[in-house]
Amino acid sequence: MSWPALLLAVLIVLLQYPLWLGKGGWLRVWEVDRQLAAQRELNQKLEARNAGLDAEVRDLKIGYEAIEERARYELGLIKPDEVFVQVPQKQP
C-alpha cells in the first residue's frame, strides 16, 4: 500500500470515530432515543393514574355519596337505623 492511500485510510478512520463513538455520535443518539421511548411510556402510565386520582378528588369534592362509600368500605360505617350482617366465606 502506498503512503497516500494509507494516509487517506487513517484519515477516514479518524473522521469516522466522532461520528460513531463520539459525544454526539450515532451510538449515543440511539441510546438517548431508547431512554426517551421508555420515559414516554412511563409518562403515559403516570398520566392515566393522575387522571384517575383527579376524577376521584372531583367526586369527593362534589358529592357525599363517594365519601359515604369510602367510609363504609374502609372504615366500616353503619348508620343508626341499619343492620350489619357479615357473611363468612369458606376457606379453600
- pLDDT, one tens digit per residue, over 49-81 is 999 999 988 887 887 887 888 888 888 888 888
The C-alpha torsion from 63 through 68 and 71 to 76, rounded to 10°, is -170
Q: How many domains does the chain have?
A: 1
CB 18 within 8 A of CB 25: yes
User: Mean pLDDT throughout 2-11?
Assistant: 84
Q: Is the per-residue pLDDT at 34 higher than 90?
A: yes
Whether residue 51 lies inside any domain: the answer is yes
Window from 17-21, 58-62, 85-89 with minimum mean pLDDT: 17-21
Which secondary structure element, helix H or strand E, spans residue 36, and what is its range?
Answer: helix 26-62
Whether residue 10 lies inside any domain: the answer is no
71-to-22, 85, 91 alpha-carbon distances in Å: 60, 17, 27
Whether residue 41 lies inside any domain: the answer is yes
Whether residue 92 lies inside any domain: the answer is no
Cα gap 91→51, rounded to integer Å: 37
Whether residue 82 lies inside any domain: the answer is no
Residue 34 lies in domain: 24-75
Which pTM value belongs to this model?
0.53
Cα gap 81→35, rounded to integer Å: 58
User: Mean pLDDT throughout 7-24?
Assistant: 80
Question: What is residue 50's predicted lDDT score, i.e. its pLDDT?
Answer: 98
Whether residue 31 lies inside any domain: the answer is yes
